[in-house]
Amino acid sequence: MKLSQEVAAFSERLGHQFSRPELLQRALTHSSNSSPARPDNQRLEFLGDRVLGLVIAEALLADDAEAREGQLALRYNALVRKETCATVARELGLGEVLRLGRSEAMSGGRRKDALLGDAMEAVIAAVHLDAGFETARAVILRHWGPRIGRAAEDARDPKTTLQEWAQARGMAPPVYTELAREGPDHAPVFTVEARLENGEAVQARASAKRQAEQAAARALLGVLGEAGQ
């Protein structure tokens, strides 16, 4: 099987040349564009999730010999959650080569965290089946490696951190207000304000209300000089 130019370029960005390119094609096939002759990526996603988890768990242990189990668990969750997988997928341009049905493509499927995250896990499984665990580990560390060192910071939920900041100073919890919702139903953009009792406020935009709240909290922490603490 010969890969298209776009998929071959994705494989190069990924850092692995497939001896069995049909594995990559399957990893990139969403259920909306599958058929008996072209199976979807769901089984690969199941395997890739486990391969990613093992590699990240080992990497976190090696990165911090003093971290407690609870700390490691929070960092692990920050690194393997669907949003992080989707971020890596976007960096690789995975959405551009996803094989989606027409309806899913029209509804913004190439930008959805769930689809991108699932496909990224499926790609990891495809590498593992094509060339073994060590090769899959190398691919994962190539793209997740820079995140390992800052996992402790990423594990801190910004809304929780902002609430702790306010409570430590005798303030009421921050208030999050949805100021606007724009765009079509399949691709909305939310504008949310995070406001403290002392009047400090920041606005942020994202494709999901929860993400906009998180982004606003993170930005407000930056204004307060408390980011990462």
Catalytic status, residue 49: yes
Among candidate residues 40, 45, 49, 104, the one labeled active-site is: 49
Among candidate residues 121, 130, 193, 213, the one labeled active-site is: 121
User: In this structure, what token pair is assigned to residue 40?
Assistant: 């979807």
Q: How far is residue 197's CA from residue 213's CA, in Å, rounded to a whole number?
A: 17
Using alpha carbons, select from 161, 138, 129 the residue that is nearest to residue 46. 129
Q: How far is residue 126's CA from residue 205's CA, in Å, rounded to a whole number?
A: 35
Where does residue 42 rank: exposed (0-12), middle (13-18), buried (19+ CB within 10 A)? middle
Catalytic status, residue 121: yes
Radius of gyration of the chain (CA): 20
- Which residues are designated catalytic? 49, 121
